[in-house]
Amino acid sequence: MMSSFVPGLELSRAFYREVVSPLLDGVAHGAALIGPGSEVLGFDTARSADHDWGPRVLVFVGPGMVEQVREQVWLRLPAEFGGYPTAFGSDRHPVRPGVAVAEFGPWARCRLGFDPRGGVSVEDWRSASWQRLAELTSGEVFHDGLGELAAARAALRWYPADVWRYVLACQWVRISREESFPGRAAEVGDELGSLLSTGRLVRDLMRLSLLMRRRYPPYPKWLGSAFKRLGGSAELGEALSGALRAGDWRAREEQLCVAYRRVASVQNRLGLAEPVEGSVRPFFARPFRVIGGMRFAEALMASVSDPVVRGLPLVGTVDQFADGADAVAGSARALVAAVR
């Protein structure tokens, strides 16, 4: 790995300023580092540079100008910038220049399934994966000469209040369905199942914490990194780590209960719904302690005023009802339609 590693966002910012911008002199355009790539979310390291990584700029132009501008730029790019090739790829992607040229509308529809400049419907919000939303609202806009990037990113910055309530409610529903499983699985001698259920609950609590703080949870490789960036998450992180390290189900449950109480307190402080008593309790007559996640879901949905959102099934967004990488890494309108 290169010891002189420069984060991709910093490298791409300089690449646009020093190389790409002069090549676009006189061309109305937008330029940004958004979309896929660990550097967009600020998680890249020297390890990232071994494939599909280098100085990158996404250039947006007006209708009918893509081919002309692409040729204008590609033919004049230097072979290297900052010690890195300006054309790169991997075993999955052919080598190509780090400058991509597109019209914003088709590009956005390919990434999201809709163009946010025309407004974002409730079904748009449900079909857009958290990873894709993070990719379009992170990174950096270097130039907005067409006046469309800032508006599009503002439209996607975060959920409308009632959609946010719905997404949080659905996350609590996920927790409610499995919160007794670590103990129940262990009770019948299924230690592996107990560990698996604990891990699923830890993931859902991490995602819930990010959503409460108005952060789109990234896909699994970067979920822990994003969680660690949350201010004040250290104690919650210790409890979640403790649950995963614990040697028996009772110790796992104890750490999960610490985590439950903390996230319950955060929800009550958000003021999105009537406060819900945040202590843990028995799961019916069984010897398992739970938070009763459905109570929080019901309180959130009771505060929803939008009749469209209020009438939705409590299955949530694509990330909450589908777990396949292909589903949550792309637009998933067909999946959403299937669970309306």
pLDDT at residue 333, as a whole number: 55
Tokens of 193: 């199942």
**141 forms bridges with which residues in the sheet?**
32
Three-state secondary structure call for residue 60: strand
pLDDT at residue 325, as a whole number: 60
338 Cα distance to chain centroid: 22
Which pLDDT tens digit goes with each residue over 4-37? 889 999 999 999 999 999 999 999 999 999 999 9
Locus of tokens 């020093």? 18
pLDDT at residue 336, as a whole number: 52
pLDDT at residue 1, as a whole number: 42
Q: Provide the pairing of β-strand 57-60 with 99-102.
A: parallel
pLDDT at residue 334, as a whole number: 44
pLDDT at residue 90, as a whole number: 83
Which pLDDT tens digit goes with each residue over 242-276? 999 999 999 999 999 999 999 999 999 999 999 99
Looking at the chain, which runs of residues are DSSP E strands?
A: 30-33, 57-60, 80-81, 84-85, 87-88, 96-97, 99-102, 140-144, 281-283, 286-290
pLDDT at residue 93, as a whole number: 81
pLDDT at residue 2, as a whole number: 46
Q: Count each helix (H run) and each strand (E run) in the chain, helices first.
A: 18, 10
Give DSSP secondary structure letters for 173-194: HHHHHHTTHHHHHHHTT-HHHH
Tokens of 50: 């071994």
- Regarding predicted confidence, which is higher, 79 or 1? 79
**60 forms bridges with which residues in the sheet?**
30, 102
Contact 60, 103 (CB under 8 A): yes
Angle between helix 293-302 and helix 161-178 axes, rounded to 10 deg: 160
Three-state secondary structure call for residue 83: coil
Give DSSP secondary structure letters for 31-42: EEE-SSSTTTTT
Which pLDDT tens digit goes with each residue over 42-87? 999 999 988 889 999 999 999 999 999 999 999 999 999 999 999 9
Q: What percent of the chain has pLDDT over 90?
A: 89
pLDDT at residue 3, as a whole number: 55
Region at 252 (left for phi over 0; alpha for psi -120 to 50; beta for the rest): alpha
Average pLDDT, the chain: 94
Angle between helix 161-178 and helix 191-212 axes, rounded to 10 deg: 170
Query: What whole-number distance in Å separates Cα of residue 96 and Cα of residue 87?
Result: 5
Above 50 in pLDDT, residue 338?
A: no
pLDDT at residue 92, as a whole number: 81
pLDDT at residue 276, as a whole number: 98
Q: What are phi and psi of 81, to 5 degrees?
A: -150, 130
Please state the domain extents for the chain: 8-156, 161-339
Above 70 in pLDDT, residue 326?
A: no
Above 70 in pLDDT, residue 295?
A: yes
Contact 128, 331 (CB under 8 A): yes
Query: What whole-number distance in Å separates Cα of residue 79 and Cα of residue 88?
Result: 10
